[in-house]
Amino acid sequence: MGKGAARWWHPPWLVWMVVARLTWLGTLPDGGESEAWGVSADGSVVVGGDYNAPEQPRAFRWTAAGDMRDLGTLSGDSSWAYGVSADGSVVVGWAVNAAGQRRAFRWTGGRMQDLRTLGGDESVAYGVSADGSVVVGWAYNSTGQRRAFRWTGGRMQDLRTLGGDESVAYGVSADGSVVVGSARNTAGQWRAFRWMAVGGMQDLDTLDGSESEAWGVSADGSVVVGRARNAAGKWRAFRWTEVGGMQDLGTLPGGCCSSAWGVSADGSVVVGWAENAEGYQRAFRWTAAGGMEDLNKTYASLLTDGSVLVEAYAISPDGRYIVGSGYNAATERFEAFLLDTQGTWR
């Protein structure tokens, strides 16, 4: 090193490392239990539901400042949030109105908007596009049938079915053009579907020929995740691609069942729950390289004795943040959690 050259030095005992971080989100002031169902792209906003003192479910929006806000209702007594836009400004879910009916809502700027129905009396919203302009879920039509819908610009579109009488939309691609969910076929079986404006509703098949449900979709709509019955009639998490079809993601060692709820933007990371050898549900993360891993084992150092991550419901687009529900031994209750798998340098 020549004279005047820059040099960086640190004491031999100073070792820098990335430390993951687990945050239990707690509950609303009068709450008892909480679940997290959606997370913004940067992990700063989490949405879900909490049960208040009268055991009424209430939609919440939590921010990194540690503030959990009750989003209210549509003049009724209950609500629940399932999805959030990439920037955290738009929240979707359901809320009860003054007539006691559940209605799909879109919340932004402190205001909850009733998205109405398809002619019936109730609706529920599960997913929202990255920019918050497209909302998907289900709504009753004028004949009392549940139908998957895609809402945008103030208009709710019936996505039809696979030949049966019902359908439900659970997820939507980043740009809002691809919708996934479950619909009845002509035999009355629920089948996972992928819907596109051109081509309509596509049956994604199953793992044994009976039932399946699609819950999450990659940013471009090419990868779909959910759960399907196997030959033994057990629910198994699946990952579907246009080229490979439906892949059984398996379970944790010794377990029988699993379900996939969320997927990263590029489709490479899947989260959900799976049973372990003792028959308990545990939050998992799946990758092609590592297979299915129990998050409780991977991040055991973050869990106090007795705490458990039970279900992982959503993952941020880059795969860094995972949210769900678990048991917090410190508070002795089930709570929503936010897991930062990369954490910070220290």
Mean pLDDT, consecutive 10-residue segments, the chain of 346 residues?
41 59 94 94 98 88 93 97 98 98 98 98 98 98 98 98 98 98 98 96 94 98 98 97 97 98 98 98 98 98 96 98 98 97 75
Residue 180: phi and psi, rounded to 5, are: -125, 155
| Entry pTM | 0.94
Q: What is the CATH number of the domain that holds 122?
A: 2.120.10.30
| C-alpha separations of 334 from 301, 307, 331, 342 in Å | 19, 9, 8, 24
Instruction: Give how far the C-alpha of residue 221 lies from the chain's centroid of Cα atoms, to the nearest Å.
Output: 16
For residue 110, tell me if it sits in a domain. yes
pLDDT of residue 69: 95
Residue 28: inside a domain, yes or no? no
In this prediction, residue 12 carries a pLDDT of 52
Does residue 253 sit within a domain? yes
In a domain, 331, yes or no: no
With respect to residue 254, please indicate whether it lies within any of the assigned structural domains. yes
CA distance 172 to 148: 12
Domain that holds residue 86: 80-322
| Residues contacting residue 113 through CB under 8 Å, at least 6 positions apart | 105, 106, 107
Residue 96 pLDDT: 98
CB 157 within 8 A of CB 136: no
pLDDT at 265: 98
The residue count of the chain comes to 346
Nearest Cα neighbor of 285 from 253, 257, 262, 254 is 262
Structural domains of the chain, count: 1
Q: Is 289 part of any domain?
A: yes
Specify the pLDDT at position 346. Answer: 57
The pLDDT assigned to 1 comes to 35
